[in-house]
Amino acid sequence: MYPVLFEVFGYPVSTFGLMMAVGFLVAAWIVGKRLAEYGEDPEFSSTILIYAMVGGVLGSKLYFAIDQWALGAMPFMDALLNRAGITWYGGLIGGTLAVTIGTRIHGMSTLMISNCVSSAALVGQAFGRVGCFLVGDDYGRPTDGWWGVTFPEGAPPTTIPVHPTQLYEVVWLVLAGMLLWRRRRSSPFLFGEYLMANGFGRFFIEMLRINPKVALGLTEPQWIGVALVVLGAGGWVYYRSRPQEAPA
């Protein structure tokens, strides 16, 4: 694997950081296409990108720090300043809050923007998962299959072939993103479908991972996946009975 791409004045630039940046940029490009379909300025996607990046990174770091502190794994500030501490759940919460605040500041429809970012976010996440694969993070259980991968420089390192669950999730995210793109004009609440797709995929892929179970035989990511499905389905049902803001 390639955890470090190159160094700048002795400061390592990770492949994960690069892929995360590419994911944000690709997602912003897709959002621009969606804004144009609504008759809005496609350049506003760069503004959304800034809110999503700031809120997403801060949210992911805060979630990681609080989670590690609550588990007694490390002090709060150590976890907050840890370069490896990135959690998708916190990024989702922080990014969603920041973009929502941004829509209010700029007088844009929050519902419209949420629909614009739905398929884009899935594709952006896929790039992030490629980054996880390249640095050897979030891999799965050992496997005897020919597709098993070793991560001798992973986090943590392993020389035993394991399920490349990062790539499984990439496939799921891309397929779900394509489906949501096709449904962008017909869905009553596309962001709800985004949440359900994320929760559904994460729940089942987690079965191949090695995270500890926390309650009723499910891991923390699985419980979060269940919550995402419930929230997404609830929002979808709610907006199904409401007038829709159709693209121009």
Q: What is the pLDDT of residues 134-193, one digit of tens each?
A: 888 888 999 998 999 998 888 788 899 999 999 999 999 999 999 999 999 889 899 999
246: pLDDT strictly greater than 60: no
17: pLDDT strictly greater than 90: no
Structure tokens, 162: 């394991």
Which pLDDT value is given to residue 10? 67
Which pLDDT value is given to residue 53? 86
Rounded distance between C-alpha atoms, residue 116 and residue 106, angstroms: 16
Concatenated DSSP letters of 37-51: HTTS-TTHHHHHHHH
CA atoms within 13 A on the CB side of 140: 21
CA atoms within 13 A on the CB side of 138: 23
Rounded distance between C-alpha atoms, residue 130 and residue 16, angstroms: 8
Which pLDDT value is given to residue 8? 64
115-134 tens-digit pLDDT: 999 999 999 999 989 988 98
